[in-house]
Structure 1
Amino acid sequence: MGKDSKSKEPSGSKGKGKQPSGGGADDGGAKGKGKVGKSSDGLGTCTYVKARHILCEKQGKINEAYKKLQDGWLSNGDKVPPAEFAKIAAEYSECPSGKKGGDLGWFPRGKMAGPFQDVAFSTLIGATSAPFKSTHGYHVILCEGRKN
């Protein structure tokens, strides 16, 4: 139980300093790995997440899609089944993934831009995020799985 258990890890870029803002899929994927393990529920420790999303340019449109999710599932406290989320993504999403029900598949930590990654990796499995803004527009995310 010596000094090793409390020693700080040398992790290049630490904390909330400036991150490269390149838009989304950046080749610098290793930079985001310094923030692993931020919670005891396992949300901050996974390396990959499987997600679907809805992307809209206008906030009003994403709110409309989210309301549809709420009316159908979320208002009852139920989790939205991926097939139902996919129908709404196909109807509302302005992302090319909308044609596939918003399916983004598995992606590693460090691949997606700041707020999108933060929400994707902090949303519980089976849960749907509230609408949020990124550099690409407004999103709602359904987290389908996690793995290391």
Structure 2
Amino acid sequence: MGKDSKAKDSSKAKDPKAKDSKGKGKQADGDEGAGKSQKGGGGKGGGKADGLGTCTYVKARHILCEKQGKINEAYKKLQDGWLDNGDKVPPTEFAKISAEFSECPSGKKGGDLGWFPRGKMAGPFQEVAFSTPVGVTSAPFKSTHGYHIILAEGRKN
């Protein structure tokens, strides 16, 4: 069944289910319940090239700061160590910086959020987490909870 929708037009096949959370998360952070209906099958018929935006689960680490200046400081530390050289930040190094800068309780665990399904996280956080390639660190961004940097560690359906 997923192959049929993929063979036609995967965006049309996913539109009815993805309408509330895909692309609209920025406007309505309170729509968490709407995205939860995708939990079981929102991403099954996606493309196979990179899997971005089509997976059902993401494994990620993050840094959360209330102030933009602090998240920028954390990002600068990531840039100085790896990003300026075009390198990917190793999860262990990202974890150290998360423990140092993050104001989220997960910071004590190196920012590890584990595996989470599409629809669990609100608005921009979900959008960035599900669109960042595995092994890549996102640029800082704002959500209703503060400022974040995400390291995507894995994807699965």
Q: TM-score, normalised by structure 1?
A: 0.83
Equivalent in the alignment of 1:30: 37
Higher-helix-fraction structure:
2
TM superposition outliers: structure 1 runs of 4+ over 2 Å:
4-24, 31-34, 36-41
Say which of 41, 46, 54 aligns to 2:55: 46
Q: How does 1:1-148 map to 2 (within 5 A)?
A: 6=8, 8-9=12-13, 11=16, 14=19, 16=23, 21-22=29-30, 26=33, 29-31=36-38, 33=42, 37=46, 40-148=49-157
Cα distance, 1:17 vs. partner? 5.5
CA root-mean-square deviation: 3.0
Cα distance, 1:41 vs. partner? 2.3
Percent identity of the aligned residues? 74
| Higher mean C-alpha displacement, 128-137 vs 40-49 | 40-49
Q: TM-score, normalised by structure 2?
A: 0.78
In structure 2, C-alpha distance between the alignment counterparts of 1:120 and 1:23, rounded to whole Å:
17
Secondary structure of the residue aligned to 1:44 is coil
Q: Which runs of 5+ in 1 are unaligned?
A: none
Paired letter, 2:30: G
Secondary structure of the residue aligned to 1:11 is helix
Q: Which runs of 5+ in 2 are unaligned?
A: none
